[in-house]
Amino acid sequence: MKIKNIKNIGICAHIDAGKTTLTERILYYTGKKHKIGEVHDGEATMDWMDQEQERGITINSACTYVYWSGILKKIKKNKINIIDTPGHVDFTAEVERSMRILDGACMVFCSVSGVQAQSETVWSQLEKYKIPRLVFINKMDRIGSNYFKVCDQIEKTFSRKIIKIHYPLYKNGNFIGFYDLIYSKKIIFNNKGVINYHIRNIDYDKNNFLLKLRKKLIEELVNPYDYYLSKYLDNNLKELEILELLKKRIIDCSIVPALCGSAFKNIGVQVLLDYIINFLPSPFDRKYYYYDKKNNICNINKLKSFSGFVFKVINDFYCGLMCFVRVYTGIIKVGQTVFNSSKKNKYKISRIIKIHANKKKDTNSAKKGDIVALIGLRGIKTGETLYKSEFCFYEKINFPNPVISYVVEPLDSSEQEKLFVSLKKLSYEDPTILLSTDIESGKIKVSGMGELHIEVFLERIKREFNINFKKSNPKVSYRETISKHSKNIEGKYVRQSGGRGNYGHVVINIYPRKIGKGNKFVNLIKGGSIPREYIKPVEKSIIDSLNKGVLYGYPVIDVKVELIFGTFHEVDSNENAFKIAASLALKKALTLSSPIILEPIMNVNVTTPKDYIGNIISDLSSKRGIIYGTEENNKNYIDIKSYVPMSEMFGYSTSLRTITKGRATHTMSFHSYKKYSK
């Protein structure tokens, strides 16, 4: 299959907008499966994990592939690689690594709820990677649905031009289809099998308002281009040129087309597939870049041999370590040798697998644009680059830092090592899970993105490794920083033991940085007062020492350390002596610079019926929360947006259910660190 006929897309949205239901319909209408599985019945193909089926939510981003030739089967067959991403904020990292390798995306919005908290997070990820997208306004069959209002809300929230491709069609108050203003078709759906639609041409003589909408749509498309604009004004703009222009503007992300439908009622899915293969980019249409040995940015077209990016790693029960790879250039074959640009490791490819949810199918090769899984590549991690002959590496994925921790210990002390090995093995899959040792108790500490995130992770440990353990109350990931600068802080390490001794001497300055700027080391040594070979050990010692602050042992963030002077001994100086001297200087500098505690602040968005606004605002304020906005979601619901310290949010789901009798929902994501004050 030609590269231009391959599409790599993600289905993404806020939780409960209908992503997995939509994916299930795509599998059915493309012939990938012959029975529709429902999320609420625990039968959705893409939600194959036990916990996903029990909870009715997507936890892992699942891959599959389908083939589609268009509603009328007049288009050349296209292969669509699909990634169904989670919608819950705790699993943002799953969405992040999926976005990293997509060529296009379908963003799903609920026609009643509109733009929700996680919608904003996902949209910002799409913007970060400049991914062309379609918008699918789902659940149009529900009472209170409003296609036009949601489109306007998306446009206002994200400052992105939304082109309304569809105009909804109702009969006796029921949503039955839509007018397609690009193809000038009236499409009505029913529930009679795979061919569940009737297509008719729009009679613009009888529907003059639709003609006006189409003209307005075309004017939006041609407006930035004088050539097309003049052709349109002269009535010489051809239908094919309109389609070409729509694709061009989608790919350059200057517009986002909006389609409508109801995945649950099987309305609009086939039309969405047509738009995916006709207007979203293929790997051929996107411009990608890589870094060479000298760290120069190069166009991907320069590479002829295989190169691929590892965006996900999992431990499969039957196959062992599986790494999911997006192939960017060349061809990879079974038996071929590839290299890891990060570690310079060499691997021989023993198996290449096509993935459909949790089902696997062996293949002999994969080419540019394919998404496959490779088996048996030991030691490989998420974000690393594989190549065959021409060295290259792709930009890694930056994952958010964990914000909440639990201490865990086995019920049977003899299983302590087994528990640690199991935790380490499973955390290898998830870069946002961090394992460490609790300073106070010496027990294993598991850190993650939220209560649900860690709960799901630990539940997998119980089920997959058959280990019983108990966990303590969650702990907040506090940080330390300094509130003033200190200069000329000296650290000296001198030891004499009869023979060759140890001598290291450094002088540093330390400054606070703006919160969120990170730590920075600056070498200001001049004249060789410290030999060059000792500078790196000093830097490493300072960076390592910042992992443990002087107040309560929390990591130190947002400081700048300058190495300004030092002395050495020609015989006694060595790397270890300078490391110890640097560590002593840093601890002294931190102590003298008025250290303070920082706490994680969460962005909390509560969607509630209007009746409970006062109670919720009062409750959030009692938790040291700052309300920064309220917004009407629809007629009866309000979004309350606030910043609340993480330490105040434990058990908030239960508290919110009590206040609102179970009618309100909330989402929570990390916002920033702030000085602790209580």
Read off φ and ψ for residue 127, nearest 5 degrees: -65, -40
pLDDT digits 0-9 by tens, 331-360 = 999 999 999 998 878 999 999 998 877 788
Per-residue pLDDT, 45: 59
User: Both tokens of residue 323?
Assistant: 């790494």
Asked if 472 and 596 touch (Cβ cutoff 8 Å), the reply is no
Q: Which residues of the chain have pLDDT under 50?
A: 40, 42, 48
User: Both tokens of residue 475?
Assistant: 């702990």
Q: What is the largest CA-CA distance in the chain?
A: 104
Pairing of strands 174-180, 385-387: unpaired
Q: What is the pTM of this model?
A: 0.71
C-alpha dist (Å) from residue 114 to 13, 15, 109, 369, 641: 11, 12, 6, 33, 16
- State the Cα angle at 184 between 182 and 188, rounded to 5°: 110
Per-residue pLDDT, 549: 92
Per-residue pLDDT, 635: 59
Read off φ and ψ for residue 211, nearest 5 degrees: -65, -40
CA distance 161 to 117: 20
3-state secondary structure 124-179: HHHHHCCCCEEEEEECCCCCCCCHHHHHHHHHHHHCCCEEECEEEEEECCEEEEEE
Residue type, 33: K
pLDDT digits 0-9 by tens, 188-246 = 998 776 778 899 999 988 889 999 999 999 999 998 888 888 888 888 889 999 999 99
CA distance 176 to 577: 77
Per-residue pLDDT, 161: 93
Per-residue pLDDT, 634: 61
